[in-house]
Structure 1
C-alpha cells in the first residue's frame, strides 16, 4: 500500500476530463492512506526575473520579498517530498503537456533542492519515489514521434531523481475511444498497489 500520494491534475477541464477520471481510478487502485491534491487548473504562476533572482540568491541572504516570491515553489517541493508516489493526470494539448504543468515543473526544478550539479552532470535529489502518469489525448499516440508530453515528463521526473515512472495512457480517444479505454484499463490492472 502506498502511504502518501501527491495527486496532480493538469487538465483545464473538471467535468468530463478523461485525465482526471483516470487519475481517480489510479488512486482507487492504490488506496493511499493520505492524498495531497494539487489542482493545476488553478493556475501556477510562471517564473519571471524576480523569481530567478530570488532562487539564485543564497537562502540566508534573501529578502522577505524574495522569500515570498519562492513561497509557492517551496510549498510545491514540500508536497513532493511528503509523498511516496506522485500521480500526475495530464492531457496532451497540442502535442505537449499543458502550460500549467510546465509552470509546475519550472517551480519545482531548483538546483540544490531537487537536483544538484556534479562533475558527472545533474543528479536528482528526490530519489526513492514513484510516479504514475495518467496521460490522455484526443489524437496523439503516446510514444509516437509527435508525442512531446510523455518523454518530457519521464525526463523531467528523472532529472529530479524520480526514475520509477509508469504511464497509464488513454490516448487517441477521438480515434477509437473503446480501444483507448481498454488499453488504459489493462495498464491500470497491471499497476502494483
Structure 2
C-alpha cells in the first residue's frame, strides 16, 4: 500500500540571504523564512493535510521551520542533515565549484576539504527516509530537510534531465510530495509557496 512523504526545505536563513555556503553550519531564519514557513503550515491546514509523524534534521533552521508549520511532536534525524561542505562552510557562494560534467553536481569536490560527496549525502538520506517510511504506522509523513540533501534525494528517483524538463527548483520552503511503496519513492509534485522576493 502506497504511503505519502512530504519533504520540505527549511525557510530562508541569514546565510541564504547573505549568499554564504551553509551546510553543516547553521544560521537563523529570516523574517521572510518565518513567514514562508507559516504560509506552508496554513496551506496544509487549508488542504486538510495532516501527518501521523513528523521529522526534521538536527539543524536548528530545519527544526525551527517544522515548528512553524505544525505544532505536533517530531523527531530530529541526523541522516537528513545538509551536505557538509568542509572548510567552505560560511564562505561566499562564489567559491562553489562548477558542477562535475558527468555527475552534474559538486561530485567529490568537497571531500578533499573535509566535506562530503554528492553520493555520500544521497546514500544517507535515502537510507534514513526509506527506514522511516518502512515503519508500519507511517502513512503520511512530513520531513523538513535542506536544499542539497533534498536535491540529492530527488536525484535518486528522477534523472537530471527529467528534473530540468519539469523545471523543478527547490526554493526555500519548497515541498516535494512523494509516494512510497516497497522501498521506492515516486515523485508526484512540487509545491512552492514562498513569497517572491523583490529585493
TM interval, short-chain normalised? 0.3 to 0.5
Structure number, greater radius of gyration: 1
TM-score w.r.t. length of structure 1:
0.38
| Structure showing greater relative contact order (alpha-carbon pairs closer than 8 Å, 6 or more residues apart) | 2
TM-score w.r.t. length of structure 2:
0.37
